[in-house]
Amino acid sequence: MNCAVKFLLFCTVFASSQPTDNNEGLRLVSVFFRHGARTPEASDLYPNDPYKLDAFLPMGWGQLTNHGKRMAFTLGQVLRQRYDKFLDKTYTPEIIKATSTDYDRTKMSALLALAGLFPPSKTQKWHDQLDWQPIPVDFDKSAMDFTLKRPNTYCPTYMKELERLLQSDDTLAFLKTHKETLQFISNHSGRPMNKLSDTFAIYQTLTAEKTLNFTLPEWTKDVYPEKITMLAAKQCEIENQNDLLKKLNGGRMLGKVIGNMVAKTEGSLQPHERKMFLYSGHENNVINVLAAMNLFQTHFPNYSSAVIIELHYLRSRQDYAVKILYVKDVYQPPVELTLPNCEEYCPLNKFIQLTENHVPKNYTLECDSIVNLD
Ligand SMILES: *[C@@H]1O[C@H](CO)[C@@H](O)[C@H](O)[C@H]1NC(C)=O
Ligand SMILES: *[C@@H]1O[C@H](CO)[C@@H](O)[C@H](O)[C@H]1NC(C)=O
Ligand SMILES: *[C@@H]1O[C@H](CO)[C@@H](O)[C@H](O)[C@H]1NC(C)=O
Ligand SMILES: *[C@@H]1O[C@H](CO)[C@@H](O)[C@H](O)[C@H]1NC(C)=O
């Protein structure tokens, strides 16, 4: 091996092991993430669960655990490490906007991620014993959230199409194939398993309890994690099964990301200093935005997982490009994802073309909604 080759190899290895922003062409970053680990939701419980409310106190149902808080905070630190130079150390209100769904756990996860991302710079340190500064998080009240919230309560076209697919021969055949397993879960849990959404609920509860290091009942060993995860992930898959669902689901937010990226390239993004958008949500927010980019391979995302969409200006090409990263686990390096039929740095125009069928042009109209969803 000659020196030049060695040097090249060294550079490649060095570059790919650098988690920070060695790319000076970075212009805008959008991050969709799932909240940290949490306690189960009351609506997801099963009658024979040995763990009752007192097991989850003082936080109660559907709230972040301490471990979950650390995860969300760590996600912020991961972003700090990667975007340290890009963002600068000093927080300004223009530089970042954080939006959450209307849940305690997602609002808290957003606050925690911001705490990991923007510890106070020297001049912003305001208290000796607190390495933290307040940074606001926006949210729409649940009944008015037509962006991050699942569209299955407000977008009639989506609701009809999803219902059609859930009742389709394919889905019914799938349920029939797994009849034995469903009956087994139902027998032991005491909760009927007639629909995929029932398996989704039980997956959520068992995963929450397992992550709390609670001992799961003996019977779950036969069906959890493998079978129940597979069944729950099937529900996620069906929610994004075709172009229409992808468009009305994650395409909604992808359209907003594309709008922001285009505005950034044109110098019209307001405020001009904006460099990052954080979207704090749920597993569906991670899944749906992946699906809208044809990057969703059926799975159930981890707590605090994140999809990152970066806009770069590549001097070598004199053009803008989009790069996608998936933080599957906050304690592991992010994975780079490449859009089908594109490259790692996907030219912005091509990115727009490739996702065109999954981006609504007029959401209210395409949802056939009598309420204005804009
Ligand atoms: C479920 O319970 C019913 C009634 O006790 C029983 O007949 C059936 O074999 C059980 N099925 C499974 C898969 O455990
Ligand atoms: C569960 O156990 C693992 C391994 O011992 C530990 O790393 C983790 O922090 C524990 N989680 C909680 C919520 O206690
Ligand atoms: C979740 O995190 C674990 C632990 O790092 C990892 O092995 C797994 O692949 C992740 N799962 C998904 C679906 O990303
Ligand atoms: C979207 O469609 C609705 C209903 O037809 C119409 O009222 C509205 O003006 C359209 N919005 C845009 C931005 O074109």
Beta bridge partners of 280: 33, 100
The pTM score is: 0.93
Q: For a pocket test of ligand 4, which of 155, 361, 362, 374 has the largest count of ligand atoms closer than 8 A to its C-beta? A: 362
pLDDT tens per residue across span 156-210:
999 999 999 999 999 999 999 999 999 999 999 999 999 999 999 999 999 999 9
What are the pLDDT digits (tens) for 50-95?
A: 999 999 999 999 999 999 999 999 999 999 999 999 999 999 999 9
- The first and second tokens of residue 254, run together, are 């992808």
Ligand 1, atom 1: nearest CA belongs to which residue? Answer: 187
| CA 226 to centroid of ligand 1, rounded, Å | 21
Domains and CATH numbers, the chain: 26-152+246-367 (3.40.50.1240), 156-239 (no CATH)
What residue owns the CA closest to ligand 1's atom 5? 187
Angle between helices 226-238 and 156-166 (to 10 degrees): 130
Predicted pLDDT at 22:
53
For residues 303 and 67, is the Cβ–Cβ distance under 8 A? no
Compute the half-sphere exposure of residue 39: CA atoms within 13 Å on the CB side of its CA.
18
pLDDT one-digit tens code per residue, 10-38: 434 434 433 334 568 999 999 999 999 99
Calculate mean pLDDT across residues 274-295. Answer: 98
Q: Which residues contact 193 (CB under 8 A, 6 or more apart)?
A: 182, 183, 185, 186, 199, 202
Q: Which two tokens stand for residue 167?
A: 């009742």
CA pair distance 312, 329, nearest whole angstrom: 24
Kindly give, in sequence order, each residue whose CB lies less than 8 Å from that of residue 88, ignoring residues fewer than 6 positions away.
95
Q: Is the CB of 186 under 6 A from ligand 4?
A: no
The answer to whether 283 is a known catalytic residue is: yes
CA distance 304 to 291: 18
pLDDT on residue 23: 63
Whose structure tokens read 């570059």? 15
215-249 pLDDT, tens per residue?
A: 999 999 999 999 999 999 999 999 999 999 999 99
Q: Ligand 3 in contact with 211 (CB < 6 A)?
A: no
The answer for residues whose C-beta is within 8 angstroms of residue 182's C-beta and 6 or more apart is 175, 193, 194, 199, 231
What is the full DSSP assignment across 279-294? EEE-HHHHHHHHHHTT
What pLDDT does residue 289 have?
98
Q: How far is CA 88 from CA 91, 92, 113, 124, 161, in A?
A: 8, 10, 16, 13, 45
Q: Which of 343, 338, 351 shows the shortest CA–CA distance to 258?
A: 351
Cα separation, 324 vs 346, whole angstroms = 9
